[in-house]
Amino acid sequence: MGADNSATDDGIVPAVDDGELIVVSNRQPYTHSYDHGDGERSITVNRPAGGLTAGLDPVMQETDGTWIAWGDGEADADVTGDDGTVRMPPESEAYTLKRLWLTDEEVEGYYYGYSNRVLWPLCHGGTMKTDYVERYWQRYQQVNETFADAVVETAGADSLIWFQDYHFTLAPRWVRDALPDSAFLTHFWHITWPGWDTFRACPQHEQLLEGLLGNDLLGFHVERYCRNFLDCVDEALDDAFIDPEGGRVSYEGHTTVVKAFPMGIDADSIREHAEAADDDFWREFQSSHGIDPSTNVIVGVDRLDYTKGIVERLDALERLLETRPEYRGEVCYVQKANESRSLIPDYQDLQTEVQESIDRINDRFGTDDWQPVIYINEFIPQRELCGLYRYADVMLVSAVRDGMNLVSKEYVAAQVDDDGVLVLSDQAGAHEELGDRALTINPYDTDAFADTIERALTMEMDERAERMVALREQVESHDLYAWMESVFDTIDELRAKDTDDD
Ligand code: GDG
């Protein structure tokens, strides 16, 4: 499968008739913005850059589905009809994008509030960071209702509705109650699901579980999150019947199948971008960032989020340089981190903390001709990112909690020379698949983490290649398309069984 190929080339589409597939996500696949070039204002369309959105786009085109999402682009309304819909992509108009308009108050309460100041920290085990403000919960319910109404308006009796992520915990129950049983509801939860002892702290825990149990199929990245979810249902809902072996919950006359689908990446596309980034690219990259060609490059790529363990990673690098002076001047750490959710105080604090850690390390160890940490805090194009992955000798993924972590898989897929080493936290979902051949760290164990960085830097070429070949095989054979196929096959099987049972 090449970079220009897609799921549909391989027949990876669910068994639905045209118009029956409905995807619901917070972020939309296309946004419209204003371009002020040449003194004239025009409208440009921004396309999906990669990941699941790019992978699903051809599936939507093939099935002429409807994608329902928050219309957050500045020029979105200018190109959208009164009913909130616009046909996408612009050149072929093959499916419908239905944009929902949210007020500033709704965005504050639903997105910045309940989604990212309650559910995000709660699901990552950070109960101390949760902020149970009543208006967040009110607006989260309100927006879930808006999305549920839009789904019900759009859906037919046989629709397949696919919710994405923690922004839509409540909508599935309302949609389930409004549509006939023949409609199928599925949900993929992209982040971790915590144990009951954490989840029970949430005052709305029952409503959240009841909402999600409106789905026919609920997917998580790994088995552990499925078990945690089933435990929470078991503890919280007296009337739920749970079959832990079969991964099924029956509640109020409806059955939900709970299953692990470890998400993959578009490995071919990453590899092709990495191959295109040749030695000239790397020389140019090194020179523009002041990296001496003789230094070993270590890389970290993250959204600036407290779950990613960026400060813990910088502590380990500092420990390495402090305790092993022979690495001073010999290694350079490139931290690629773009700002995210900046209106939330915890994220502002993190940005400050990361900047302070970097400044401290650079002040402490840097010299006139060597800067230990290079900080890139703007979004970089895919080709440049893949080139950076390819040429970095070591990648550090030190999440303190992470649903999957696609960056670790992207680094592996970009290792076309099989000479990089992946250092991976055992707190990332990706560790289940990659942990055997990566070097495992506990992000909080600074000394051992520093030792592991040294081990990665000094690993012989044979061992690097042996590990990376196995990692690449894993990532390539369990790519985004294999993931979509597995989700669609499960849906098709469950729907076929439901029809037989009728
Ligand atoms: C959530 C879960 C789960 C980042 N900077 C640039 C850039 N990126 C891309 C990476 C990667 C993506 O962003 C980040 O994905 P992750 O999986 O690492 O992390 P989250 O954003 O937290 O995602 C996570 C995921 O959902 C999927 O289910 O794995 O656990 O938290 O694809 O490449 N891409 C480009 N330039 C950048 O500067 N081009």
- What's the pLDDT tens digit per position in 327-340? 999 999 999 999 99
Q: Reduced to 3 states, what is the DSSP secondary structure of residue 15?
A: coil
pLDDT tens sequence across 250-297: 999 999 999 999 999 999 999 999 999 999 999 999 999 999 999 999
Query: Is residue 5 scored above 70 in pLDDT?
Result: no
The separation between CA 501 and the C-alpha centre of its own chain, rounded to angstroms, equals 36
Distance (Å, whole) CA 323 – CA 319: 6
Decide: 469 in ligand 1 pocket, CB within 6 A: no
Question: pLDDT class for 324, splitting at 50, 70, 90?
Answer: very high
Mind giving me the DSSP string for 295-362? SEEEEEEEES-GGG-HHHHHHHHHHHHHH-GGGTTTEEEEEEEE--STTSHHHHHHHHHHHHHHHHHH
Which contiguous run of DSSP H or E holds residue 146? helix 134-154
* CB of 403 shorter than 6 A to ligand 1: yes
> Is the C-beta atom of 382 inside 6 A of ligand 1?
yes
Q: Which of the listed residues 221, 404, 422, 432 should we mutate to test ligand 1's pocket, taking the one with most ligand atoms within 8 A of CB?
A: 404
Residue 128's Cβ-count burial label (10 Å; 0-12, 13-18, 19+) is: exposed
Give the CATH H-level superfamily of domain 267-478: Glycogen Phosphorylase B; (3.40.50.2000)
Residue of 193, 285, 303 to test ligand 1 pocket, by largest number of atoms within 8 Å of CB = 303
pLDDT of 100 higher than 90: yes
Give the per-residue pLDDT at 497.
Answer: 87
Q: Is 49 in the pocket of ligand 1 (CB under 6 A)?
A: yes
Amino acid code (one letter) for 248: R
**409 vs 443: CA distance, rounded Å:** 18
Instruction: Find tokens 């970089």 and name the residue.
Output: 380
Q: Whose CA is nearest to atom 28 of ligand 1?
A: 190
Rounded to whole angstroms, how far apart are CA atoms 135 and 146? 16
- pLDDT at residue 151, rounded to an integer: 98
pLDDT at site 498: 79
List the CATH code of the domain at 21-263+482-501: 3.40.50.2000
Q: Cα-flanking dihedrals φ and ψ of residue 231, to 5°?
A: -60, -45
Pairwise CA distance, residues 363 & 373, whole Å: 10
Does residue 407's CB lie within 6 angstroms of at least one atom of ligand 1?
yes
DSSP state of 288: H
Element (H, E) at 230: helix 223-236
Cα–Cα–Cα angle for 227, 263, 422, rounded to 5 degrees: 100
The set of residues, in sequence order, having a beta carbon less than 8 Å from that of 175 and lying 6+ positions away, is 148, 151, 152, 155, 161, 183, 185, 214
Residue 165 is given by DSSP the state: S
User: What separation in Å is there between the alpha carbon of 451 and the centre of ligand 1?
Assistant: 27
Residue with tokens 């992955």: 389
User: What tokens appear for 337 in the block?
Assistant: 């981190």
pTM of the model: 0.96
27, 390, 405, 425: residue to mutate for ligand 1 pocket, most atoms within 8 A of CB: 405
CA of 302 to the centre of ligand 1 (A): 7
Q: What is the pLDDT of residue 54?
A: 87
Give tens-digit pLDDT for 156-199: 999 999 999 999 999 999 999 999 999 999 999 999 999 999 99
| Model confidence pLDDT, tens digit, residues 190-246 | 999 999 999 999 999 999 999 999 999 999 999 999 999 999 999 999 999 999 999
CB 320 within 8 A of CB 327: yes
User: Which residue's CA lies nearest to atom 38 of ligand 1?
Assistant: 379
Span 48-83, pLDDT tens digits? 887 899 889 989 999 999 999 999 999 999 999 999
Number of CB atoms found within 10 A of residue 251's CB: 17
Q: At what angle do helices 461-477 and 406-413 cross, to 10 degrees?
A: 120
Domain boundaries for CATH 3.40.50.2000 within the chain: 21-263+482-501, 267-478
116 within ligand 1 shell (Cβ under 6 A) = no
Tell whether the model's pLDDT for residue 2 goes beyond 70. no
The CA 381 to ligand 1 mean position distance, Å, reads: 13
High-pLDDT (> 90) share of the chain, %: 93
Decide if pLDDT at 102 tops 50. Answer: yes
Distance 52 CA to ligand 1 centre (A): 10
What is the greatest pairwise CA distance in the chain? 76
| Mean residue pLDDT across the chain | 95
Ligand 1 site, residue 410, Cβ cutoff 6 A: yes
Ligand 1 and 430: CB distance under 6 A: no
Tell me the pLDDT tens digit for each residue of 351-395: 999 999 999 999 999 999 999 999 999 899 999 999 999 999 999
Hey, what are 55's tokens? 């992978």
Average pLDDT over residues 470-483: 97
Distance 11 CA to ligand 1 centre (A): 26
What confidence tens digit (pLDDT) does each residue in 395-431 have? 999 999 999 999 999 999 999 999 999 999 999 999 9
Q: How far apart are CA 139 and CA 23, in angstroms?
A: 22
Report, as an integer, the average pLDDT of 97-103.
98
The verdict on the CB of residue 387 being under 6 Å from ligand 1 is no
**By alpha-carbon position, which residue is closest to atom 34 of ligand 1?**
382
Please give the C-alpha separations between residue 161 and each of 16, 175, 194, in angstroms, as whole numbers: 11, 9, 25
